[in-house]
Amino acid sequence: MVSGYAPAKAVLSISLVFTALALSCVILRLFTRIRISRSSGLDDVFITLSMVFSVLLAAATGVEVHYGLGRHTVDVTLPDEKSALLGLYLTINTYNLTMGCTKLSILLQYLRVLPQTHNRARKACYTLMAVVRVYVIQALLTGIFTCWPPAKFWDITITTGHCMNRTGLWFSNAAFNILTDVAIGVFPLPIVRALNVPKRTKLALMIVLGLGGFTCIVSILRLEALYAVTHTTDQFYNNGQVATWSVVEANTGKICSCLPTLRVLISRCLPALFPNNHVLSNVRLESIRTKNEVLVSMQSRSKLNSGELQLTTHDSGQQSYISPASRCSTDADMDTPHVSPLDIKFMTIVEKEIARSPAEMPESRIQEISDYGRTRPPVVRRESVSS
């Protein structure tokens, strides 16, 4: 017979350590999104809710440990048995809530980086979100109303009412949980492969996303421990591994979902570690280009910083804006200023977006530019655009 035993102290220690790690990652993620990048979104709301439920999960696990988990059922008194079963009831429901919020946060994070032009990918992401929502509602309702009345779950003195088949219920929820984990982990890989980014950036993204596969492994290990606890008469003694893997799985998902954001924070604090490899900036590249297309098409509503120069090259029809910092770099009397890679990338994007192709101009204008370009050098003029 498979044993699900784990020492009570080990269960509590692992629960506290993984919850603390996940909480630290979530706090750093929120700090990065709110204070540094100023780009907080709905995915941050869901990861925060998930962390709240994860803390409640750790607290409920502590209740189980205090009142009987890891001890033989015959050694647990009736009042302690009620309290331990109440702790189990709370862990089941908080586990379902924290896992559901984590999955929704990851999918919302995918939507942040998917450009509007990727209709199929966005529709697939919305479909996955709908499936996850249905799963969470179903798991929550069946978790709360496993027995009727609900108190029958933890109060063995209640002889009236009835309970569902817990083995079938728990295994079906666990299987569906694994399937959604696999779908969420595999979903972004084809999109990352198709991104027009350097190979190092693409490889780094795949590694980060591949860490989500560790959550699937933990889910499978939890499934084995779940089998042990559902095929024994000594439930308290064999429930330790399920409790441990549940906490590890719930918090591992949060840690993996926070890694891309934490990388931005680390590159900001320790730029030597990531000199010219801004993963998230590259991932958002297509989205930035899409936004710039809208901005360029509405030039009357855009603004240029004070003192910017507009460079017009008549033989190519290209326009680009040079900031005062960039202008200083061409002045022999001044020191070369520091221009970050992000500034360079943004200037390049703008140049590409506002460049005019000959196909967009009348033939007379093309001929005028061609004649003018053979006799005149590029013109640099100061121009301000009012909103």
pLDDT in tens, 32-79: 999 998 999 999 999 999 999 999 999 999 999 999 999 999 999 999
* Cα 367 to chain centroid, rounded: 52
Residues of the chain with CATH 1.20.1070: 8-280
> What DSSP character marks residue 71?
S
- Indicate the range of 103-112, 122-131, 199-208, 272-281 predicted with least confidence: 272-281
Tell me, what's the pLDDT at 273?
62
- Report the side by side order of strands in the sheet with 379-382: 318-322, 309-313, 379-382
**Residue 46 and residue 105 in contact, taking contact as beta carbons nearer than 8 Å:** yes
Tell me, what's the pLDDT at 268?
80
Q: Please compute, for residue 206, the number of CA atoms within 13 A of its CA located in the half-sphere on the CB side.
A: 14
Tell me, what's the pLDDT at 358?
52
Has residue 106 got a pLDDT over 90? yes
- For the segment 86-103, the average pLDDT, to the nearest whole number, is 97
Tell me, what's the pLDDT at 269?
82
If phi over 0 gives left and psi between -120 and 50 gives alpha, with beta otherwise, what is residue 339?
beta
Which of 229 and 304 is assigned the larger pLDDT? 229
Cβ neighbour number for residue 378 with a 10 Å cutoff: 12
Has residue 290 got a pLDDT over 70? no
**Residue 146 and residue 177 in contact, taking contact as beta carbons nearer than 8 Å:** no
Tell me, what's the pLDDT at 215?
85
pLDDT in tens, 296-321: 444 444 444 444 444 444 444 444 44
- For the segment 354-359, the average pLDDT, to the nearest whole number, is 50
Residue 382's DSSP bridge partners are 309
pLDDT in tens, 177-186: 999 999 998 8
Q: Which CATH number fits domain 8-280: 2.115.10, 1.20.1070, 3.40.50, 2.60.40?
A: 1.20.1070
Token pair listed for 54: 């994860």
Please tell me the distance from the alpha carbon of residue 156 to that of residue 166, in angstroms, as a whole number.
15
- Indicate the range of 13-17, 46-50, 232-236 predicted with least confidence: 232-236
Q: Which residues of 229-248 are buried (b: 16+ CB within 10 A; e: fewer)?
A: bbebeebbbbbbbbbbbbbb
If phi over 0 gives left and psi between -120 and 50 gives alpha, with beta otherwise, what is residue 262?
alpha
Confidence of residue 369 (pLDDT cuts 50, 70, 90): low
- At residue 237, φ and ψ (nearest 5 deg) are -70, -35
Task: Give the DSSP H/E element, type plus range, for residue 364.
Answer: helix 363-375
Local structure of 379: helix, strand or coil: strand
Gap between the terminal Cα atoms of the chain: 75
Tell me, what's the pLDDT at 79?
95
Confidence of residue 203 (pLDDT cuts 50, 70, 90): confident
Confidence of residue 332 (pLDDT cuts 50, 70, 90): very low
- Indicate the range of 9-23, 175-189, 285-299 predicted with least confidence: 285-299
Which of 211 and 40 is assigned the larger pLDDT? 40
- For the segment 7-31, the average pLDDT, to the nearest whole number, is 97
Confidence of residue 141 (pLDDT cuts 50, 70, 90): very high
Tell me, what's the pLDDT at 214?
79
Q: In the predicted model, what is the mean pLDDT of the chain?
A: 78
- Indicate the range of 49-63, 151-165, 237-251, 332-346 predicted with least confidence: 332-346
Please tell me the distance from the alpha carbon of residue 270 to that of residue 55, in angstroms, as a whole number.
30
- At residue 311, φ and ψ (nearest 5 deg) are -100, 120
Strand (E) positions, 231-382?
A: 309-313, 318-322, 379-382
Tell me, what's the pLDDT at 2?
72
Tell me, what's the pLDDT at 350?
41
- Map tokens 């496993």 to a residue: 146
Cβ neighbour number for residue 57 with a 10 Å cutoff: 27
Rounded to two decimals, the pTM is 0.71
Has residue 364 got a pLDDT over 70? no
Please tell me the distance from the alpha carbon of residue 172 to that of residue 139, in angstroms, as a whole number.
10
